[in-house]
């Protein structure tokens, strides 16, 4: 009984603190997106959290121009939904390397 209560408490705290879903490997997601979508050069600043049992995501995607922005955005959303069951993601598309804390020079 104590073991199941502890498990439930951990799950509840993770949800209350909007913790990351354990089933999503962010490093693998980045690799798979670059492999699946040739226009995607880099994926960074990825944040995943749960609201209820629903995963939400924000991410930056550096893309190779020129391309149809809206069509690529649709393909990124489709990839996230089909491969990771993420149907709500905010995607910031970038055309130049992102600079800032945590980014290589």
pLDDT reported for residue 40: 96
The pairs formed by 54-57 with CB atoms below 8 angstroms and a separation of 24 or more are 54/87, 54/88, 55/21, 55/24, 55/84, 55/85, 55/86, 56/86, 56/88, 56/89, 57/86, 57/88, 57/89, 57/90
Q: What is the pTM of this model?
A: 0.76
Instruction: Tell me the pLDDT tens digit for each residue of 22-80.
Output: 678 999 999 999 999 999 999 999 999 988 888 999 999 999 987 789 999 999 999 99
Q: Is the pLDDT of residue 19 over 60?
A: no
Residue from 104, 29, 22 nearest 59 by CA: 29
> Regarding the domain delimited by 20-94, which CATH topology (the fold level of the hierarchy) does it fall under?
Alpha-Beta Plaits (3.30.70)
pLDDT reported for residue 17: 46
pLDDT reported for residue 66: 77
């Amino acid at each position: 009984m104590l073991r199941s209560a502890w498990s439930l408490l951990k799950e509840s705290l993770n949800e209350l603190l909007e913790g990351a879903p354990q089933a999503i490997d962010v490093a693998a997601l980045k690799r798979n997106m670059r492999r699946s979508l040739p226009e995607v050069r880099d994926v960074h600043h990825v944040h995943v959290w749960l609201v209820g049992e629903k995963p939400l995501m924000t991410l930056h995607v550096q893309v190779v121009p020129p391309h149809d922005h809206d069509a690529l955005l649709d393909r990124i959303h489709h990839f996230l939904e089909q491969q990771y069951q993420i149907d709500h993601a905010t995607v910031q598309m970038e055309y130049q390397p992102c600079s800032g804390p945590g980014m290589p020079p």
